[in-house]
Structures are given as C-alpha cells and as structure tokens.
Chains A and B, each alone.
Chain A
Amino acid sequence: MSKRFSQTSLSLVVGTTRRDVSDLELAQALAVGEAWALGVTWHRFAPMVLTMAERSLGSRSDAEDLAQDVFLSIFRKANTLREPEKLRSFVYSFAVFGVRSELRRRKLRGWLSILTPEALLELGHRSVDVESRDLLRRFYALLDRLSARDRLVFSLKELESMTIEEIAEVMDISVSTVKRSLTHAMARLSRWIIADPGLADVFDTRRWQR
C-alpha cells in the first residue's frame, strides 16, 4: 500500500563551490589541513608559479619540479601564515625563494662539476622558430652567468614586469639593493651582448625594430 505525501514545493539551494572561496577562507582551510584546500590552492596559484619559474629558470621541467616543492612547503607551513588574506603574496614569496635556491644550486653545480652540461632550452610548448629559439638559448646562457640574486631581480623586473618595491618585498631585501642588483645585471648583460657576435649582429639589423 502506498502512502501519498503532500507535495511541498522544494527548491534547490546551490552552495558556493569550493573553487570560489576567498583567499582568506582558503588560507584558513589550509591551516587546519582541509583535504580539498590542496586542489583549490594548486589550481588557483600553480599557473602563476609555473610561468614565473619557467621564465626565470628557462626550463619547463625544472619549473614543474620547483612548483611541486613550493606547494608542498606551503601546505606544511600554511599554519604559520600571519595574514591569511595575503595568501597570494605568501605563495609568491615561496616561489621566489624556491627560484633563488634553484639558481644558487645551479651555480654551485656549475662550480663543482668538471664537465658543464649541455645548455638545453626547454620552454613550454609554444612553437618558436629556429632563430628565436637560438636567441633565447643565447639569452639564457648569458643569464646563467649572472649571480643568483642579480638574475632573479632582472627576471622579476623584465620578465614579470614587477616594480622595484614589489621585488624588494617578495625577495625580502631593501629597495636600494634591488636597484643596485638591477643596474649591475643590466650593465653586465649589455656588455656581454655586445661581446657576443651572434647577438650583436642580429640586433644591428633593422628587422627587430618592428
């Protein structure tokens, strides 16, 4: 025997999806170890970290490895974040710190190894013509000669279009140090470009002035 219930109209209440949570809520969820926060944090910030690291390091695979380490550190130390609403800055600082460490490691490896490994440019998946790829390879070879700090300051300024003050904040150094590093990096790169016939010749022609 079936019993009929009165037909009360029901409405579907759609909650906020977790991808829409604010940085503040996300930081709080990370701090208490909510499992869903891992995926949301990754999807929200990984593109930023990956592109910054890839531009700075010149290698997609190194950037991927670095992003893994950066996010693992963030998940471990999320409960130390004093201003949860500044989660983005927190992530960016970790990423910058990771890039600087990786650049220092590379320098150290370069000093310790007898054979310098073949420079391999491995940027993203965008198809780049052979000439541009060669230019980029030379460009990153010049960047490899800079100190880790100078290179990072240059990358953040010229590749990430950050202001001097922003760079000082994320690198936790003074504005004057940033300016000094940038001047130093630009001067050295300019000198090396002139000394590199492969680069100087290319830029003496007018076709790059388009």
Chain B
Amino acid sequence: MTWPDEPTDTRALHVLAKLARSTVQRPTAAELERGLNLLSARATSQKARRIRVMRWSLAAAIATAGVCVALGFRLASVLRGPGLDPPALAYRVEGGSVLAGGYLRDSGDGGVRLFFNEGTRVKLLPGARGRVRSVDKEGTRIVLDQGTASFDVARSKERRWLVEAGPFSVAVKGTFFTVSWDPPSERFELRLQHGSVVVSGPIASGDIELRAGQRLVVNLPKAETLITDEQVEGTAAGSSSAPLLPNQHPVAAGPALAAGQATAKDATDTSSSSAATVSSGSKVEHKSSWAEHVAHGQWNRILDEVESRGVETTLETAPSEDLFALADAARYRRRTDLARAALLAQRRRFPGSSRSLDALFLLGRVEESHDRARAISWYDEYLGRAAAGGYAAEAWGRKMVLTNELKGRALARPIAEEYLRRFPKGSYAGAARNLCGVP
C-alpha cells in the first residue's frame, strides 16, 4: 500500500499500525487448549473459594447470634490467623535477571536459578527459556517456554505450584522433578524423583497423576504417551543438574525403589514389580478398581495382577470397566499385544456397550505403532459406527495424518477438507489447513 502524498509521520503511522496488525497471529489450538485448562482450574478454585467464603460468612452470622459463640469464633480466628494467612512469597535470582513480564534472562553459562523464601528451588538449565508468571500468597506459576528445568518444591498446604510447558500444566505438591519442553518437536518430558504431580494437557486419557520415580514422555505429533518407572535418584541436589537420560530403564526393580530418599510409603505406592509391592497390592486390589489404579498411574499393579490371575482368565472374566483399564495400562507400558487383546475382548464380550465403540478407536491408536494401514481401517470402522462419537474428531484427525504419511498429500486432502468442514476449530485444524493449502 502506498501513501505517496502523505507526510512522513502519517505514512509511518500507517505502516507501523499495519506491521503491528499483521505480526499478531491467532492463537494455535494447543495454546487455546492450554488456556482452557488453566481457566478451568482457576474457575474451579474460585468456586471452591466462594464456597469457603460463604461458609465463613454463615459461621460468622451464627457467631454473632450468641456472645459465647462469637467469642469462641474470635478466639479460634486469632489462634488460626497465622496459619490461614501464609507469609508472602519472595525469591532471589542467581545466574541471571528477571525482565519485564517475568522473563528470566541468564547472564552466564550456568543457567538461571531461583530461590524462594519457603525453600523451593528452581533451576533453568543452560539454553532453557522461562518466565515467572505470578508469585503470590496462593502460589506460583512458572512457564517453561523451551528447554529443561528442575523443580525442588517445598511442601505446603496453602500454596499451589503450577508449571506450564507448552500445552501441558503440571500441578505440584511438595516434590522434586525435572521437566522438558521442546517446541519444534512438540515433545514433553517429566521425570519425577519425589512426591507426586498431576499433569494435564492434550493427553487422550485425561489428567495423569505421576508417582515418585516415574517418567512421562508425550510426543504430540505421534500422539504417543509413555510412562516408565525409573530408579529414584540418590539426592535431590545431586540429580538437579543431571541431563535427562535418552532412554528409560526397564520397568523398575524393587530394591532400587527402596533406596535413597524414597520413603516407605513412596516405595509401597509406586508401582513396581517387586514381590513386596505385589503382595501389598494384592491385598488392596479387591477394594480399589483398576480404573482407580489407572487414574493414579499405577499401571504395573494392574499388569501384575493380570499376570497372577492369568491373561486368558482375565480376558474372559474381567468386567467391561476393568478390560478398559487394562487396555490403558498396557498401552502406557507399550504392551501392545495385551492392549489389543483387552480391546478385542471388550468388543467380543460387550458388543452393545459404548466402550465397545470406544475400543474401535483405541485399537486404531494401538495399531499406529505397528500397522498404520490397519489403524486407518479401525478408525474407519469407528467413524462408520459412531460418526458423532466422543472420539470422532480425533479419529478423523489421526486418519488424515496417517493417510498423508502412507498414501501422500493427494489422498489426505479430501480427508482434511472433511475434517475442516466438521471440526473447523479442532485440534487438527492447523494440519488440515496445511494439507488443503488454506492459510
């Protein structure tokens, strides 16, 4: 666009405004999902706070009805005052500085280190970029834009720690862990040495709770989620700067878990193949369902139980919900044969159930790492039977990606067009637009 007759300042203003207009992009699907996750968490916490406030108001109203009761409440509030109002958080920075917007800039080769007054330590390894989003009485939000960072979070009931890495959010209690996010490859990795965390993000099975010694790797382009057990490190400080291992250990051995700083509870809770854990697990197993084990990341507990019962017996006798949980546990442990068998058993034994339809989609997910053509046919079958099912968008998206990989762009394009028609704002919309050549 030209403004030949305009004076320099007006022309400059137009050009600058146009530049600012064109530089800002619409948020990506992953950014929107991350924002929604955070918003949901905040909305829930606000609701809980409102309920707390209402309860306190009610208590105060009752207290004013009688002098004795009022005195009791006052006394209680005086006694509990310091506990309800934790001191403000503060931190100091070493190896760098904090810029406007909370950006952490390193000033040397050692990475930026943050030391919080309640004992929490955060270290951004060299090359990592991150931000301190907020620090207040309720807790702290740290954003890891890229690279690896280690967190040694002090246990606190009052404060909530949240670490965001790409589209993933990690809700933290007292714990020590390292987290990595690589934006180009969209690969997320978390190694948990102590404590527990809940990871939320674009993971098909929803939020995942990790226990001490577990390692979670999510590869978004391949739609892979892998959880493995690792040996608990000897000390927090010793492991804080250790680089991430390229590969996980095989599913853990019992004695290693009991070593180091792992507490007896941690060792018992952590899923492992040790005899002690199996026996304690088998006492509990009748009380808690496998779905609950899945929700708590105790995949091995399920697999151990299947081994002890016998695979065939389990597949023939387990209820529908347990078969589904078994398929999940087996998928996370990369026991694809077992996952496939559980899903096929689900379809064979409970043909009319909604889980039977979902199993079609999950069979596609299982097959993706072995036989992509077969995976496409599972997705086709799912879409044929459940065109408006809960996994329909995901099935269309995976089918589009696999078709592009196997048969090329020309055959993937009609699927991309169909995807955009059905799910214009879906999580595969960006990839679909690329295939269609739409900006």
A residues with a Cβ closer than 8 A to B are: 12, 14-15, 17, 19, 38-39, 42-43, 46-47, 50-51, 54-55, 58-59, 61-62, 64-65, 67-68, 71-72, 75-76, 117-120, 122-126, 128, 132, 135-136, 139-140, 158-159, 161, 186, 189-191, 193-194, 199-200, 202-204, 208-210
Ordered nearest first, which 10 A-B pairs have the shortest CB separation? A117-B100, A190-B9, A203-B12, A158-B17, A139-B16, A124-B25, A14-B388, A193-B9, A54-B24, A42-B36
Interface flags for B94-116 (1: CB within 8 Å of A; 0: not) read 00000111110000000000000
Residue of B with least CB distance to A39: B36
Q: Kindly state the separation between the CA atoms of A55 and B42 in the bound complex, as whole angstroms.
A: 25
**Cβ-defined contact, B23 with A46, below 8 A:** no
**Cβ-defined contact, A42 with B35, below 8 A:** yes
The residue from B16, B31, B143, B387 contacting A135, defined by CB atoms under 8 A apart: B16
Give B409-434 interface residues, CB cut-off 8 Å to A.
425
Report chain B residues within 8 Å CB of A67: 35
**Cβ-defined contact, A55 with B131, below 8 A:** no
Give B273-287 interface residues, CB cut-off 8 Å to A.
none
**Cβ-defined contact, A19 with B25, below 8 A:** no
Report chain A residues within 8 Å CB of B10: 190
Contact (A208, B42) CB under 8 Å given A65-B133, A118-B99, A119-B100: no
* Overall SS of chain B's interface: helix
Q: Kindly state the separation between the CA atoms of A38 and B348 in the bound complex, as whole angstroms.
A: 38
Known: A203-B12, A208-B12; 18 extra A-B contacts, CB below 8 A, are A38-B39, A39-B36, A42-B35, A47-B32, A55-B24, A61-B131, A72-B43, A123-B24, A124-B23, A136-B19, A136-B20, A158-B17, A189-B9, A190-B9, A190-B13, A193-B8, A193-B9, A209-B2
Report chain B residues within 8 Å CB of A50: 26-27, 35
Q: Kindly state the separation between the CA atoms of A154 and B9 in the bound complex, as whole angstroms.
A: 15
Contact (A55, B32) CB under 8 Å given A47-B26, A118-B99, A210-B2: no
Residue of B13, B31, B103, B133 ringed by the most chain A CB atoms within 10 A = B13
The residue from B3, B23, B387 contacting A209, defined by CB atoms under 8 A apart: B3
Report chain A residues within 8 Å CB of B17: 158-159
9 contacts between A and B (CB under 8 A): A46-B35, A47-B26, A68-B39, A117-B100, A125-B28, A132-B19, A135-B19, A190-B7, A203-B15
Give B260-296 interface residues, CB cut-off 8 Å to A.
none
Contact (A117, B24) CB under 8 Å given A68-B39, A72-B46, A159-B17: no
Report chain A residues within 8 Å CB of B31: 64
Residue of B with least CB distance to A60: B24
Give the shortest distance, in Å, between B152 (CB) and chain A (any CB): 25
B57 within 8 A of A: no
The residue from B27, B35, B388 contacting A15, defined by CB atoms under 8 A apart: B388
Residue of A with least CB distance to B36: A42
Report chain A residues within 8 Å CB of B36: 38-39, 42-43, 46
Residue of A with least CB distance to B392: A17
B317 within 8 A of A: no
**Cβ-defined contact, A72 with B23, below 8 A:** no
**Cβ-defined contact, A75 with B35, below 8 A:** no
Report chain B residues within 8 Å CB of A59: 101
The residue from A68, A122, A125, A161 contacting B25, defined by CB atoms under 8 A apart: A125
The residue from A64, A68, A75, A191 contacting B9, defined by CB atoms under 8 A apart: A191
Q: Kindly state the separation between the CA atoms of A186 and B11 in the bound complex, as whole angstroms.
A: 12
Contact (A64, B103) CB under 8 Å given A43-B425, A210-B2: no
**Cβ-defined contact, B43 with A43, below 8 A:** no
Residue of B with least CB distance to A202: B12
Residue of A with least CB distance to B22: A126
B310 within 8 A of A: no
**Cβ-defined contact, A42 with B23, below 8 A:** no
Residue of A with least CB distance to B141: A65
B352 within 8 A of A: no
Q: Kindly state the separation between the CA atoms of A208 and B6 in the bound complex, as whole angstroms.
A: 13
Give the shortest distance, in Å, between A125 (CB) and chain B (any CB): 6
Q: Kindly state the separation between the CA atoms of A61 and B35 in the bound complex, as whole angstroms.
A: 11
**Cβ-defined contact, B35 with A51, below 8 A:** no
Contact (A159, B21) CB under 8 Å given A61-B101, A120-B99: yes
Q: Kindly state the separation between the CA atoms of A200 and B35 in the bound complex, as whole angstroms.
A: 40
**Cβ-defined contact, B12 with A71, below 8 A:** no
Q: Kindly state the separation between the CA atoms of A193 and B7 in the bound complex, as whole angstroms.
A: 11
B38 within 8 A of A: yes
Report chain A residues within 8 Å CB of B131: 61
Residue of A47, A59, A136, A204 ringed by the most chain B CB atoms within 10 A = A47
Give B101-160 interface residues, CB cut-off 8 Å to A.
101-103, 131, 133, 143
**Cβ-defined contact, B24 with A68, below 8 A:** no
B40 within 8 A of A: yes
B4 within 8 A of A: yes
Report chain A residues within 8 Å CB of B32: 42-43, 46-47
**Cβ-defined contact, B19 with A139, below 8 A:** yes
Report chain A residues within 8 Å CB of B35: 42, 46, 50, 64, 67-68
Report chain B residues within 8 Å CB of A139: 16, 19-20
Give the shortest distance, in Å, between A204 (CB) and chain B (any CB): 6
Report chain B residues within 8 Å CB of A71: 39
Contact (A120, B100) CB under 8 Å given A42-B35, A194-B9: yes
Give the shortest distance, in Å, between B422 (CB) and chain A (any CB): 9
Report chain A residues within 8 Å CB of B12: 193, 199-200, 202-203, 208
Residue of B with least CB distance to A51: B24
Report chain B residues within 8 Å CB of A43: 32, 36, 425
The residue from A38, A65, A118, A159 contacting B43, defined by CB atoms under 8 A apart: A38
